Amino acid sequence: MDEDHIETAIGRFGKYQTWVLFLITVGRFPAEYQLNNVVFIIPSVEYVCLDNNVTNHCPCENPEYDTSTIVSSVTSEWDLICDRTYLASLAQSMMQIGILAGSLLFGYLSDRYGRKSVVLISLFFEVVSVVVSAFVPHFWMFLVCRFPIGVTLGGVMLCCYILLIELCGKSFRPYAAGLQEMPFLISYFTLPIIAYFVREWRTLQLVTSVPWVIVVVYYWLLPESPRWLITVGRKKEAIQILTNIAKRNNRPTDNIEALVEKLELLNKNQQKTGNFIDLFKTPKIRVYTMIVALIWMFCSHTFFGINQYIGRLQGNLYLNVLLSAACLTPGLIIVIIATLHLRRKVSVIASFTTAAVSLLVFIIVPSDLRAATLTFAIIGLIGAYTSFVQIYLYSSEIFPTVIRNQAIGFASMFARFGGFVAPFVVNIGIEWVSILIFSGVAFGAAILCYFLPETKATTLPNTIEQREHAKM
């Protein structure tokens, strides 16, 4: 496992991998927009109750909404105010439940039937689901649409990342961990600009989805993962794809067949495919599965919890979203530097610890020092965000190819639980208690990382046996 034969054949990250990164980045925008656009399509709204001309009065039979910022939204179209406000939360929760289901479903399908087909399905049906949601005449239909939007979103986030990682050499994975976040940040930056000019929610849904129907041509542009092909015994296809990539990267092709045969020999008489049960069959994989799932849950809980406070900034809505994106951008640079120069466990533990300590300081700093409290809240958010980015890479390196997507999908399911609980913790009503919980959870994640194996500069394991027999 010391030598990465795929990297030897096609290079660490050449022209072809750059092309695949570009395709994935562009294709992911509709999914990333859905992840970020809730503030524009299901916002908290101001209104005057015409029953008595009182602002934001409940109950209210005849509200007149403030359209100076957002002309039309799901909230205003279906009157999700007063005793119907829970429906707005339910709409967002439906998407989160969909992400949970999609992570498991597409993780299984990808490990069983290949990376390429599942990436194509998730990208295309994300666009279809969003377009359908823009035309529904009733709220319950919109609510139903949020579930498939979430399902396909879960598939996009998981499978696009795994495909990219498996096309990289081991020496480039630290950069790939940062580069795969580009669609999230670019969409985060561009969404408020688009929403500023498109202030009706149905039109916004269409503008951020219809142009991407072009992803159907990805069938002829994206490759299958050669690592997966070799793992399932499809040697000829793997050689063909590796040869094509090597030619595009101006690398020699005469040694590819021999390299594939070496990998095939390593995998001989070992498991070709995996299933969900394999996450719990063997001692090491079972322990790693549970630890990684808990870390993802704690990470999600901390990130979305802190983000609740950052989102309470006063001022222009569109500018605030831009500022939030700007706060996260330095995190990518930090991730790349940390993964290049630090061991995996050290860098991930440092990120969680940074988040935890900054939140403790946040509690101590007097609330009237707004600049200081905001600064430490942002540092905490960056710490949680960099933890999230790194744990994707770390998890993909821990688990073997035959169950990699299912393992990440299982961990992502736990991350959804963490995200569900976060708003309830925020709304406890006692700020220092909420912040202390988020800090304690971040510390807990840092401690759990200690029990995982070090994976920096190691070749991605293909089989469960390779991981079980690998040294810690």
The whole-number pLDDT of residue 363 equals 84
pLDDT for residue 454 is more than 80: yes
The whole-number pLDDT of residue 427 equals 63
The mean pLDDT of 47-59, rounded to a whole number, is 86
Q: Which residue has the higher pLDDT, 269 or 104?
A: 104
Q: Which residue has the higher pLDDT, 362 or 289?
A: 289
- pLDDT-above-70 percentage for the chain: 94
Domain map of the chain by residue range?
1-271, 275-472
- Give 315's pLDDT tier (boundaries 50, 70, 90): low
pLDDT for residue 472 is more than 60: no
The whole-number pLDDT of residue 230 equals 85
Place of tokens 């999609």: 102
pLDDT for residue 114 is more than 60: yes
Q: Which residues contact 461 (CB under 8 A, 6 or more apart)?
A: 1, 399, 400, 401, 467, 470
Superfamily assignment of 275-472 in CATH?
MFS general substrate transporter like domains (1.20.1250.20)
The mean pLDDT of 71-94, rounded to a whole number, is 86
Q: Which residue has the higher pLDDT, 253 or 222?
A: 222
pLDDT for residue 440 is more than 90: yes
The whole-number pLDDT of residue 223 equals 92
- Give 1's pLDDT tier (boundaries 50, 70, 90): very low
Q: Do domains 1-271 and 275-472 have the same CATH topology?
A: yes
The mean pLDDT of 307-320, rounded to a whole number, is 65
Q: For the segment 318-371, what is each residue's pLDDT rounded down to a tens digit? A: 877 787 778 788 877 887 788 778 888 899 999 999 999 999 998 888 877 777
Q: Which residue has the higher pLDDT, 28 or 253?
A: 28
Distance in angstroms (rounded) separating the CA atoms of residues 381 and 365: 17
Q: Which residues contact 427 (CB under 8 A, 6 or more apart)?
A: none
Q: For the segment 369-412, what is each residue's pLDDT rounded down to a tens digit? A: 777 777 788 888 889 888 988 888 888 888 887 788 788 878 88
**1-271 domain in CATH 1.10.3720.10?**
no
The whole-number pLDDT of residue 272 equals 53
